[in-house]
Structure 1
């Protein structure tokens, strides 16, 4: 009886994990030389320098904003990537929810690759598994939410992706780039993904908007509620007027 009691205690005491939610953020580093953008200061426009890049290491870049300027996310670790196109990969954990976020900083010269990887993942392709302590976390095509941050490269080039005709799970996507609804719509439809936030005009794809949209997603809000969160955040930082911010963001097709 004592042995049975010990076995029951072990089974009860063993950690039990449910299925964590996962978010994968694809960041194409700002690159004055290799992207068709209005040039920014050289110090933040080097697409091979994630530490100082406008969309990554600068004050409102994804790395700095999620690591330093919000208490909702905790940086767990930096993960070496076998993909030479990814210059830095970071794993974050939500402070109160069982949600993990993987952020990839792509070499700015490889913007086409970053967009193609984002689109393929939105279609359930390129699954990535990362071990975190005793858990296996699914990113890439296994993610629940995917986001692209950076220049709208589809203004400059076409992508040629073979999409899966059937998907077992519809993935939510956020696309923070200029005119992203106009340029990404055909691809997102073919990917069979659900656009919860994208844009109708020129914009600065900085991390406060991404954070606001993710906040709404974490709370299981509707697309229109997430849209409003993004507009409020963008107006707060850009001082562009709430009406203009609301016109900038939209949800769904």
Structure 2
């Protein structure tokens, strides 16, 4: 077979892309954030500026000082990488961070507030190993979505108001040496709504919540650091509780009652 000049150029361009962005075997954490939105979510209203789900820069869960983008950007443990394009209209911004002490990346997506249902749908699909995607970060191509090592959701517990389609329950055992995908759900009373269903699709509800709560990014940040240190689920919960206690001005004992870990 003889390639035309255009066909040859196309093949060379594809080959160059593969060389420039090899699929990187790093650990990837994918965080799904449903922006706080007074207008469309069943929440206690917050000040209008931080509760506009169309404006991520000032949003409570994203651009505010305790939102995901701002908290991880300010962290000494993480380095924010150059901007990457949003993969779909519902995602207003995507940011990527690289841990400074380990080969771990964190990809966070800011979903438009009124798109909370597709955001949660994407999260549960990813927890079930569906919706894998490749995200380019500099010269590396990272496994995200259903191929991420750990997935997390931050935002309002939309399952209080609507249902999503959960992946088919997994009946086959986890392969030897493999572990169920850890999932974190920082939303009000998430254990009751997510934990058993996550286990049913083969995921591991690493950290969920038992009470009404404020899903600040500090809890995820410190829980991840405990996990990176090789600590067990109880210690991951304690790390989240300590961060929450500090933020809320309550005792660690009271904060521990907010979280559940398995």
TM over 0.5: yes
**1:33 matched to 2:36:** no
Is there any run of 5+ residues in structure 1 with no aligned partner, and where?
1-15
The structural deviation recorded for 1:192 is 1.1
Aligned partner (choices 105, 108, 111) of residue 110 of structure 2 = 105
SS in structure 1 at match of 2:167:
coil
Deviation at residue 136 of structure 1 after TM alignment: 2.1
Count of paired positions: 236
Partner secondary structure for residue 235 of structure 1: helix
SS of the residue corresponding to residue 152 of structure 2 reads: strand
* Aligned residue runs from structure 1 range 162-173, under 5 A: 162-163=167-168, 165=170, 166=172, 170-173=180-183
Shift of 1:96: 1.2
Give the distance between the partners of 2:45 and 2:94, measured in 1 at CA: 25
Question: Which residue does 2:85 correspond to in 1?
Answer: 80
Shift of 1:150: 0.4
Are residue 58 (structure 1) and residue 64 (structure 2) matched? yes
Q: Distance in 2 between matches of 1:52 and 1:229?
A: 27
Q: Is the 8 A contact 1:181 1:198 kept in 2?
A: yes
Q: What's the CA shift for 1:164?
A: 5.9
The superposition leaves residues 133-165 of structure 1 with CA deviations (integer Å, 9 ceiling, x where unpaired) of 442210101111111000000111111233363
CA deviation vs aligned residue, 1:196-223 (integer Å, no higher than 9, x gap) = 1111001000011010111112222110
Contact 2:28 2:104 in 1 (8 A): yes
Deviant stretches of 4+, over 6 Å: none
- Distance in 1 of aligned mates of 2:42 and 2:134: 33
Give 2:152's aligned residue: 147
Q: Work out whether residues 120 and 191 of structure 1, in 8 Å CA contact, stay in contact via their aligned partners in 2.
A: no
Match of 1:221 among 231, 237, 244: 231
Question: In structure 1, how many angstroms separate the alpha carbons of the residues matched to 2:166 and 2:236?
Answer: 29
- 1:238 matched to which residue of 2? 248
Distance in 2 (alpha carbons) for counterparts of 1:215 and 1:154: 28
Bigger Cα displacement from structure 2, 241-250 vs 129-138: 129-138
Tell me the C-alpha RMSD between the 2 structures. Answer: 1.7
